[in-house]
Structure 1
């Protein structure tokens, strides 16, 4: 459990004190700002802040009842005497923590960066969110090295009970059984790293499908039963697979359940798995002439969406990639040769994955279309993530609804299908597989070649390919209808 919370995009460590500790120190909760908006960095810092939490608990439990003063959220600078007096308790708690962690998968890499942070702290480097004295860091680093060497430090004050009490954990009724409290902590941790719409979906889905307490086998059986009921009711295999994959993703975060997976045998399992194995024939393109006729109808019937559908077709953007951005996504880029050109920074915010972040060279005649669409986001600078998510979804739904109506409801085609049409057109004008992936934001090679987070090589080839495709997707003419 990470005990991370996020507010206004930045992470904090938030954890309830055990009841006996809260009674002594006069506080029920410990909070500390971590000073970062990066979840990976926050997770690393949280491991070290947990040491401070355990130290507070140990000191409170070891002191005479009522003698400890209330703990404030701001950690005060420790005197030399306090550092030395607390050293034994801190190292003991830290040793117990890492020894327990070594029973879980992935502990080698975690302890490697833990040691790197301790090394930095021991050398006097100030790390955000960590108030650990260099002497304490040196002792913790030595304890880590000794433990990894199979010779963990031993303590004369043998009882480890305070350290165990300092870690609140729900006890399971039987080995391998997880309680609802334990799962909710795992679900909360998952929800911190996804968007509002995903949070709503997964909370609803887990409430409907899972039941606690339960074992790994029992929960997987419930997932498959849900899938069978959905398929029997006429649900699409793709949707059922998406739900099942989402549930498994969350369940894998439960300690000890990392290997959980959908079964491969049985009719239901095969049907569910088929939903995740779509091939190129299932991802249909819209025939070019038909797509152009729809553009003309959009321009005639709903002109407010015309710029959106044309740009999606000409640049192969996902609808959300275009409609989630504001004016700042259109800007100039200077390459290594000093060439300055206008680009659309695709997936600037909330991109599907790292490979989707890319710079797309914008044709001069398309600049007004981009500006019109990007101004349509219409959100203030202080809009919340929930407000942004709601606005983006509404924009995508409106444009998709218009396009779907003009398609006539043909199975397998949608506004997104224009992206597949562009892929076929790129191949028709000579683009390689890697070049198609680079423009669509689907491959690591594409990410490295055009990423806004690195690389300043010229975009001559993407510009050339998109210009050739653009000739096949001219401005809509009403006489096409």
Structure 2
């Protein structure tokens, strides 16, 4: 529920207080004008306002339980020294962030909105979910204006200590201060143990957020500042949570920093924690009638993308599972009874989805669609894994963009939502939980030795279920 209402073309946030909270605050409803006629922008603002609503409720309940208690602070106040010490790092990270955003569509309206927020913070306003000092807000607003004018600030993040090239093995002796060389050694070791995608992500985040030399407390402040900025820019709590703990997992590997943890108090910390786990509404299934209309639009406007879009819906595939493969993933499989049938080997190329490797029986009329998609990978023989990953990401982004355009305004829905729709359709044709999991590639409960993946059992039941789903998703 978004709690948005519209009146005279403008959106407002309206939400009823719980009865025990209403008794304390003296009103039954929380209202806030969002000052925009754009629904997308209103949804972003509503996320921040909901944090403020939760804060009011928590404080009211605390006051009710013990009226003698003072109103709790949402965050610990920064000292002047903290503000000035972190100023360059914050402005540098902010400048990198807005420069990257300028490569995406719709950046003008987003940066206009972010500037208005910074203007309000600089004037002493308190915005929900943002704990930014006025001096910091002024510096960020100035950096934004200079970047838009083509003259971004040049802030040197080089450590103040000597530029030692050798990799040390321990932290500095200055009050727990760690140098960039120490962190780089830890980062290199971490990247060797993770996928290329995650390695690229943590390297990019460390350049945006972290500054060296530094202590644990300063890095926590920088990390929380980054999270607050991302939330203010309309970032999803799940994405902010992922970024924060991605960096934290590396920082905790630094000698002496194993106990490092994010704060638990404050609106920003609460918003980060709310992004943990996977909510049922995180990726909503697309209603069948709407999905069929989207397929028809794609076929009419960009027919080259239609085969991939419809196959993802009919076979509950992850976008990368389909778009990372070539014709080798389409082959004949002989089961234990000697029956041969055409299958698509999902997750054959491995990577992040290697645990989901499975054989999906292909309907005879879908074979041309699979061949059209698989030949589209278009990589020469001997292409490196880097070239392969780059090509797959390019294909997924391209299809996602086409799908979003055809889908229109549908919060919570995306290309991946077709997988959720197919799961619901499988249940509608009476598939059991295990049968749905087998088709989607979810590891079954129990011993992996008895897993269906990689076996030679007959695929009659999956073929029957997928055929029924295919009847519900005909050609556009």
Task: State the TM-score bracket (shorter-chain normalisation).
Answer: 0.5 to 0.7
Change (3 A) 1:358 1:405: same
How far off its partner does 1:285 sit? 0.9
Whole-angstrom CA distance in 1 between matches of 2:254 and 2:460: 47
1:378 is aligned to 2:378: yes
Using the size of structure 2 for normalisation, the TM-score is: 0.60
Change (3 A) 1:272 1:343: same
CA contact (8 A) 1:332 1:342 kept: yes
CA contact (8 A) 1:209 1:223 kept: yes
How far off its partner does 1:417 sit? 0.9
Match of 1:65 in 2: none
Q: After superposition, give the CA deviation of every residue in 1:418-443 in whole Å (9 maximum; x if it has no partner).
A: 11100111111112223222211233
Match of 1:441 in 2: 441
State the aligned residue count.
309
Change (3 A) 1:249 1:286: same
How far off its partner does 1:383 sit? 1.1
Whole-angstrom CA distance in 1 between matches of 2:229 and 2:297: 40
Which structure would you say has the larger Rg?
Answer: 1
Alignment of 1:225-236 (within 5 A): 225-236=225-236
1:274 is aligned to 2:274: yes
How far off its partner does 1:176 sit? 5.3
How far off its partner does 1:174 sit? 4.9
Using the size of structure 1 for normalisation, the TM-score is: 0.59
SS at the partner of 2:451?
Answer: helix
Whole-angstrom CA distance in 2 between matches of 1:426 and 1:177: 56
SS at the partner of 1:360?
Answer: strand
SS at the partner of 1:271?
Answer: helix
Alignment of 1:94-105 (within 5 A): none
User: Structure 2 residue aligned with 1:451, among 447, 450, 453?
Assistant: 453
Change (3 A) 1:334 1:309: same
How far off its partner does 1:444 sit? 4.1
Alignment of 1:278-357 (within 5 A): 278-357=278-357
Change (3 A) 1:353 1:388: closer
Show structure 2 runs of 5+ residues with no match.
Answer: 1-166
Match of 2:364 in 1: 364
Q: What is the alpha-carbon root mean square deviation over aligned residues?
A: 2.6
Change (3 A) 1:254 1:343: farther
Alignment of 1:40-439 (within 5 A): 169-170=169-170, 172-174=172-174, 177-255=177-255, 257-439=257-439
Show structure 1 runs of 5+ residues with no match.
Answer: 1-166, 477-481
CA contact (8 A) 2:171 2:177 kept: no
How far off its partner does 1:450 sit? 3.8
How far off its partner does 1:177 sit? 4.6
How far off its partner does 1:182 sit? 2.0
Whole-angstrom CA distance in 2 between matches of 1:261 and 1:456: 47
How far off its partner does 1:284 sit? 0.9
CA contact (8 A) 1:343 1:362 kept: yes
Q: After superposition, give the CA deviation of every residue in 1:49-101 in whole Å (9 maximum; x if it has no partner).
A: xxxxxxxxxxxxxxxxxxxxxxxxxxxxxxxxxxxxxxxxxxxxxxxxxxxxx
Whole-angstrom CA distance in 2 between matches of 1:328 and 1:255: 46
How far off its partner does 1:197 sit? 4.5
Whole-angstrom CA distance in 1 between matches of 2:330 and 2:445: 23
Change (3 A) 1:253 1:465: farther
CA contact (8 A) 1:438 1:449 kept: no
